[in-house]
Chain A
Amino acid sequence: MSVIPPLEVRDLTTTFVSRRRRTEVVHEVSFTIGRGQTMMLLGESGSGKSVTARSIMRLYGSSAELGGSVRLAGQELLGLAEPRLRAVRGGQISLVPQDPTGALDPLRRIGSQLAEVLAVHGVERVKTAAHRRAEELLAMVGIPDPKRVAQSYPHELSGGMRQRAVIAIAVSCDPQVLIADEPTTALDVTVQAQILELLADLQQRFGMAVLMVTHDVGVAADFGGRVGVMYAGRLVEEGPAGAVLSAPRHPYTAGLLESLPAPGVARGSLRSIVGAPPSVGAFPAGCAFAPRCPHTRPACTDDDPPLVTVAEDRVAACPVVNAEAVMA
């Protein structure tokens, strides 16, 4: 029996186009997320993690050319006509962005913004019912006083409460796939813990496939599921989060983990990676990590190494060290 996964991404390539130039920012990214499963895209700035997530929802419109395939419950999204796409977005697949303030209309009450989404997607067309449902959703995401919050404007809420409201909107139409793009980066750490707990709880209750984008190794490790490490627009390592983050196989993943301050590491002796991540549009040829990699060989600058299986259920894109765990 073959089960159609909620999200299947194959060789997704995103190229930003302007009159003057073409800039490839995501190159042949592939992954699949099963029902109730999680995929974390982990990377530093410019790695293409957010662009991957937003390309899946085709949020760049005509400013980006997309290659490959994105299947939402078997339905191909690349090439889907705009009206059909609008029905899918916010319905079957929804987004929780980093900045909840920018995601909400500052001039409308929270409840009416929620009710609008329910109406547009045909979940609750009757106004009074939609407003009642909006309050239920706000209660579901742990807002203590949903009636009052439904009547509030975004600026009247704290950052954490705003993010809860955005999550309520995102899950309002019972999506199969929830994309969370750095959902807690703008929040304080104690509030971040609350929001991550809420997302995990909603995922468990509704069996959503979750794609989460983060720069925070700790968040990736705690949220679990699978992790895909991105560098210079490419997936360089992918596998179960626990395994990847405890015994990385790609030198970049290893370097990233060793850069983190941890108890027991003496001051001044963090094992940083030399140099800085490459700028978008100036990715080095061959293996993009080669200029910063401690294991570089001459061949590394010739070819773009493919992802190969390095252990059960794990792939990494490094021919030099993929035979063994690379962290000291």
Chain B
Amino acid sequence: MSDVLLEAVNLSKTFGNGVRAVSGVSLAVHKGETLGVVGESGCGKSTTGKMLLGLLAPDAGSVTFDGVPLAGLSPARMRALRARIQMVPQNPQTSLNPRLRVRQSIEFNLRAHGAERATRRTRVLELLERVGLTAAHAERFPHELSGGQLQRVAIARALATSPDLVVCDEAVSALDKSVQAQVLNLLADLQAETGVAFLFISHDLAVVEHISDRVAVMYLGRVVELAPAEQLWTDPRHPYTQALLSATPGQGRERIVLSGDLPNPADPPSGCGFRTRCPVAETRCEAEWPPLAETAARHQAACVHVRPVAVPG
């Protein structure tokens, strides 16, 4: 039996304003692993996350969770599935109801997925303790908590239904670094204990590399590189990944400064979308966006300069 938990094949999404947010993205999250998705604004990482959560219908392509295609599920079955796929959003100030106590926010999720009234209260306290909060926090309102505490509440709420997968969309980006480290440690501990899988979406390559088993790098709606986290960090193959890594401050790498801005996703360049900023672009790059090709074991990149290798197997 395969250990693929969530599989997306050829996902595409174009919005009404002509923005091609996602084009032909295929990703798989395995049971108990963390797949990182990294990219700059407008690369389609959040749109991909929403489609994987079933919050947004793709124009083309399919999402399958534990063998069940999300498309065409009845509302009741979709709700049942949602207990197994939860999310931790970026901004807990806006994702938690300001007029509900912490306990009520978490209970809400438990109740929505059919937990008995009698067990709910003890379960809330268990969950709060699990994320490093106390019973005293249960009766507080969101505005009484710090950003780090709120994000712990959001994590507790996501874990309430014992999900198999939690999508974290910029879940630590709004936090101060000293607090961010606490939350990253917490996520790692929870995964070690419960075997939950994470899809970790972030613009911060250092954070993604740290928390993920594998990382997908997105640019202009496509995955341009997919590799084990450590390998991506030490041996990036796609010129965009190389530039992104070199631009991450404080790494002591020689900086590759890309010229220009990200292209407008409503009017992308022909061929490879990165060619307008790519330091090694050639005429042949104008023809088509190269497909992801195996460049080392478990390491794929979408660039004509990347030498494909025959991978045994």
Contacts and interface: CB of A to CB of B under 8 A. Distances in A.
Interface of A: 44-45, 144, 158-161, 188-194, 196-197, 215-222, 255-256, 258-263, 265, 267-274, 276-277, 279
| Residue of B180, B249, B255 with most chain A CB atoms under a 10 A cut-off | B249
Contacts of A270: 181, 184-185, 210
A45 to B, nearest CB: 6
Contacts of A197: 255, 257
A279 B206 CA distance: 27
B18 interface: no
A324 B207 CA distance: 30
Contacts of B188: 267-269
Contacts of B178: 44, 255-256, 259, 272-273, 276-277
Contacts of A192: 247, 249
B250 A193 contact: no
Contact of B192 (A219, A259, A265, A268): A268
Contact of A261 (B176, B184, B262): B184
Nearest to B245: A189
Contacts of B248: 189, 218
B177 interface: yes
B74 to A, nearest CB: 38
B182 A272 contact: yes
B185 A276 contact: no
A190 B40 contact: yes
B141 interface: no
A161 B262 CA distance: 11
A268 B147 CA distance: 20
Contacts of B230: 263
Nearest to A198: B257
A238 to B, nearest CB: 19
A217 B178 CA distance: 12
Interface of B: 40-41, 146-149, 176-182, 184-185, 188-189, 192, 203, 205-207, 209-211, 230, 233-234, 243-244, 246-251, 255, 257-262, 277
A267 B257 contact: no
- Secondary structure of the B contact surface, majority rule: helix
Contacts of B176: 44-45, 215, 276-277
A261 B200 CA distance: 15
A146 B255 CA distance: 26
A44 to B, nearest CB: 4
A217 B247 contact: no
11 contacts: A159-B261, A188-B40, A189-B248, A193-B257, A197-B257, A216-B250, A217-B249, A261-B184, A263-B233, A272-B181, A273-B178
Contact of B249 (A161, A222, A274): A222
Given A268-B188, A271-B181, A272-B178, A193 B40 contact: no
A145 to B, nearest CB: 11
Contact of A218 (B149, B182, B251): B251
Nearest to B250: A218
Nearest to B233: A263
Contacts of A268: 184-185, 188-189, 192
Contact of B177 (A158, A215, A263, A267): A215
A276 B249 contact: no
B250 A222 contact: yes
A279 B247 CA distance: 32
B206 A261 contact: yes
Contacts of A271: 181
A160 B185 contact: no
Contacts of A158: 261-262
Contact of B209 (A196, A221, A263): A263
A255 B244 CA distance: 26
Nearest to B260: A144
A26 to B, nearest CB: 18
Contact of A272 (B185, B211, B233): B185
The 9 A-B pairs with the shortest beta carbon distances in the complex, nearest first, are A218-B250, A218-B249, A268-B188, A261-B210, A272-B181, A259-B181, A188-B40, A193-B247, A44-B176
A213 B108 CA distance: 42
A189 B247 contact: yes
B40 to A, nearest CB: 4
A233 B192 CA distance: 38
A276 B148 contact: yes
Contacts of B189: 268
Given A217-B177, A270-B181, A188 B250 contact: no
Nearest to B172: A261
B211 A267 contact: yes
B249 A216 contact: yes
Contacts of A189: 40, 203, 205, 244, 247-249
Contacts of B147: 276
A189 B39 CA distance: 9
A71 to B, nearest CB: 31
Nearest to A258: B181
A265 B206 CA distance: 11
B206 A188 contact: no
B258 A190 contact: yes
| Residue of A217, A258, A276 with most chain B CB atoms under a 10 A cut-off | A276
Given A218-B249, A276-B176, A188 B41 contact: yes
Contacts of A220: 250
B209 A261 contact: yes
B151 to A, nearest CB: 11
| Residue of B176, B189, B203, B248 with most chain A CB atoms under a 10 A cut-off | B176
Nearest to B212: A267
Contacts of B40: 188-190
B78 to A, nearest CB: 32
A260 to B, nearest CB: 6
Nearest to B257: A193
Contacts of B207: 261
